[in-house]
Amino acid sequence: MEKSMGATNAKVINHIPEDLAFSILSKLPLKSLKRFGCVRRSWALLFENLHFLNMYRNYFISNNHSYYDGTSILLNQTNNPLHGEAFHSTLYLLSGERFENMVKLDWPPPFHEDDSFIEILSKTSVNGTLCLAQKNGMDLKCLFWNPTTDEFKIIPSSPFLYQSPYMEPTVNFNGFGYDHVKDDYKVLRWLCFFNITDVEVPWEDYLDVDAMWEIYSLRSNSWTKLDIEMPTSASNEKLHVDGVCHWWSINDDINCYDSPPRLVSFDLCNEVFLTTHLSSDMIGPLNILHLTLLNGFIAFIIYDQTTTFHIRILGELGVKESWTKVFILEPLPSIEHPIGAGRKGEIFFRKDDDELVWFDLSTQMIEELGVKGREHCCHIAIYKDSLLPIGGF
Amino acid sequence: MASSSSNLISLKTSDGTVFKVERALAKTMKTVQAIIEEADANIYMIPIHNVFSHHMDMIIDYYKLSVAGKSKEFSVEKLDNDELKDFLLAVHYLNMEDLFEVLTQAVADRLEKKSVGYVRKYFGIENDFTPEEYAAIRKKNDWAFKGDDIEPEEDEEKQEE
């Protein structure tokens, strides 16, 4: 007869081996990881432990964040093929594991005559609708567009733009997104006003128009002034996640003076904002800072052609100490600056010969896309198609 | 019911139960697969230490679901945190890749809002910080302890507002 194994009900093992512990830890959000750094000494140094870092990075890249379900990538490329001539924005839909399929999409009719510097606001779609904005001198165009159905809706002009005939507005689009409480699409922008030069303003007509924020609501089809003092965006990098618009700024709250750079997050539902400062070691004289969404998380790519290529992921909004350095990479020679991120750890860049390329975080390989782009206006957007009418209501 | 024994492997759990499992399922257990491959003759029964019959039941459930393409339907909700840990340790011992990923994710989800004290007990870890070191690192990461949904530390009194 075989000897029985001796059934035991007592828990034989209580201690979890470190390898197994790392497998669990690598799947935790940054906030939990930082708290559990207080469990024991070796866990305080998790992000300096190469073994752990590799596990964490692999999980980070391969984890399918729901933000990207059913999405494709849009590349908005800006180029002036005939130097000195006009710039043109061209839109491509990228698909395929290695973006081997690039389909050019036509802009909607309002942009057929002038397709220069079109921005896909907040690099996002809401129920298949994009918000396109264009500033060309005095002309200002802003519209909603569904590329799948070709429906578009021009956003009316704001009554605040020309409050005084003697002042010219400068407009800064800060965000587009969805208010799930009111089931509404909103566009946020900042206006500031300058005296039109060479015009004598009659004393009685003198009106000092302060800079202001305004928000457009699709439901009311109108612009409303926002009584808020908030820094406006300093770059093209604007994001929208879960009803919150994010951008970054180097201006102070009244947009007059230079301030330390910070992330600004505006909640479209309750119309309040939060700032998150960058930690001082993120800022350097040669660094390019690029705000992006990396696999669903707010991140800064800190890039300098010769010395630096880091990626910092934000652990918690509002907490300067929570920018965690997750990726440290070799800088890529002849690659000038990032233009956006894809769905699974792809980072798109512009090279110094204007070629647009993408970098795979997991394999660290670079591939050309086959198009060139000028200026810092080229950007990537994440698009989820839908056949719904604009606004869905 | 005749069974072609070459397609079934007998696994004996710690509590003495014998499970006859399909070769394909045994193949997902790298530990068992290694034993089979190393055996000179056809092995009759493989003992699997630290694996109890209730673990095997769940392993078989998961296997059936994944063969049917329904692995997402597998749930460990009914297990408490300690039972889940035991199950994970069993699967870790058996070296089963897919189920291991599922369970480590499940454990991570359970631990996400827990306190440092809880995690120490759960992992069987001693605090090796000096009081000064702990105070410093606690202070440095204070933000990670804040939040209504985070379990408070047992030894820290809630501050009066």
pLDDT for B40 equals: 67
* Interface contact A39-B123, CB threshold 8 A: yes
Q: Which band of pLDDT confidence, cut at 50, 70 and 90, is reported for residue B6?
A: low
CB-CB contact of A303 with A338 (8 Å): yes
How confident is the model over A224-248, as a mean pLDDT? Answer: 94
Q: Which band of pLDDT confidence, cut at 50, 70 and 90, is reported for residue A3?
A: very low
* Interface contact A8-B92, CB threshold 8 A: no
CB-CB contact of A68 with A343 (8 Å): yes
Q: Contacts by B70-79 with C-beta closer than 8 Å and gap 24+?
A: B71/B98, B71/B102, B74/B102, B76/B102, B76/B103, B76/B106
pLDDT for A11 equals: 45
Q: Which band of pLDDT confidence, cut at 50, 70 and 90, is reported for residue A234?
A: confident
Task: Quote the CA–CA distance of B12 and B92 in Å, as a whole number.
Answer: 17
Mean pLDDT for chain A overall: 89
pLDDT for B149 equals: 93
SS3 B32: helix
Task: Quote the CA–CA distance of A207 and A245 in Å, as a whole number.
Answer: 32
What angle, 0 to 180 degrees and rounded to 10, lies between the N-to-C axes of helices A18-25 and B81-94? 120
CB-CB contact of A226 with A210 (8 Å): no
The pLDDT of residue A5 is above 70: no
Q: Give Cα separations from A198 to A165, A166, A201, B82, B97 (angstroms).
A: 13, 10, 9, 78, 74
Cα distance from A277 to chain B (closest Cα, Å)?
14
Cα distance from B7 to chain A (closest Cα, Å)?
23
Q: Which band of pLDDT confidence, cut at 50, 70 and 90, is reported for residue A197?
A: confident
Contacts of A38 in chain B (CB under 8 A): 116, 129, 134, 137-138, 141
Cα distance from B84 to chain A (closest Cα, Å)?
12
pLDDT for A80 equals: 82
For the stretch A74-104, pLDDT in tens is 999 988 877 778 889 999 999 888 898 999 9
How confident is the model over A105-130, as a mean pLDDT? Answer: 94
Q: Which band of pLDDT confidence, cut at 50, 70 and 90, is reported for residue B2?
A: very low
For the stretch A253-263, pLDDT in tens is 776 777 889 99
Q: Which band of pLDDT confidence, cut at 50, 70 and 90, is reported for residue A14?
A: low
* Residue A37 at interface with chain B, using a CB cutoff of 8 Å: yes
Residue of A24, A46, A279, A317 to mutate, interface with B, max B Cβ within 10 Å: A24
* Interface contact B140-A8, CB threshold 8 A: no
Task: Quote the CA–CA distance of A347 and A366 in Å, as a whole number.
Answer: 9
Instruction: Identify the closest residue of chain A to B150 by CA–CA distance.
Output: A32
* Interface contact B120-A8, CB threshold 8 A: no
Contacts of B126 in chain A (CB under 8 A): 40
* Interface contact A8-B144, CB threshold 8 A: no
What angle, 0 to 180 degrees and rounded to 10, lies between the N-to-C axes of helices A18-25 and B97-111? 70
Q: Which residue has the higher pLDDT, A323 or A169?
A: A323
**Complex ipTM:** 0.92
CB-CB contact of A157 with A138 (8 Å): no
* Residue A269 at interface with chain B, using a CB cutoff of 8 Å: no
For the stretch B65-95, pLDDT in tens is 999 999 999 999 999 999 999 999 999 999 9
Which tokens hold the place of B139? 């202070």
The pLDDT of residue A181 is above 70: yes
Residue of B13, B49, B104, B109 to mutate, interface with A, max A Cβ within 10 Å: B104
For A315, residues 6+ apart whose C-beta sits below 8 A from its C-beta are A29, A30, A31, A34, A322, A323, A324, B143, B144
* Interface contact A316-B129, CB threshold 8 A: no
Q: Give Cα separations from A14 to A17, A39, B88, B114 (angstroms).
A: 10, 16, 12, 18
Contacts of A314 in chain B (CB under 8 A): none
How confident is the model over A350-358, as a mean pLDDT? Answer: 92
Q: What percent of chain A clears pLDDT 90, i.e. is strictly above it? A: 65
CB atoms within 10 A of CB A290: 23
Chains A & B: contacts with CB separation below 8 Å: 100
Instruction: Identify the closest residue of chain B to A18 by CA–CA distance.
Output: B123
How confident is the model over A178-192, as a mean pLDDT? Answer: 95
* Residue A29 at interface with chain B, using a CB cutoff of 8 Å: yes
* Interface contact B14-A7, CB threshold 8 A: yes
Region of poorest pLDDT, from A170-179, A329-338, A361-370, B95-104: A329-338
The pLDDT of residue B5 is above 80: no
Residues in chain B whose beta carbon is closer than 8 A to a beta carbon of chain A?
A: 12-16, 45, 47, 50, 82, 85-86, 88-89, 92, 100, 104-105, 107-108, 111-113, 116, 119-120, 122-129, 133-134, 137-138, 140-141, 143-145, 147, 150
Which tokens hold the place of B32? 């068992």
CB-CB contact of A191 with A214 (8 Å): yes
Q: What is the 3-state secondary structure (H, E, C) of chain A?
A: CCCCCCCCCCCCCCCCCHHHHHHHHCCCCHHHHHHHCCCCHHHHCHHHCHHHHHHHHHHHHHCCCHHHCCEEEEEEEEECCCCCCCCEEEEEEEECCCCCEEEEECCCHHHCCCCCCEEEHHHCCECCEEEEEEEECCEEEEEEEECCCCEEEECCCCCCCCCCCCEEEEEEEEEEEEECCCCEEEEEEEEEEEECCCCCCCHHHCCCCCCEEEEEECCCCEEEEECCCCCCCCCCCCEEECCEEEEEEEECCCCCCEEEEEEEEEECCCCEEEEEECCHHHCCCCCEEEEEEECCEEEEEEEECCCEEEEEEECCCCCHHHEEEEEECCCCCCEEEEEEECCCCEEEEEECCCEEEEEECCCCCEEEEEEECCHHHCEEEEEECCCCCCCCC
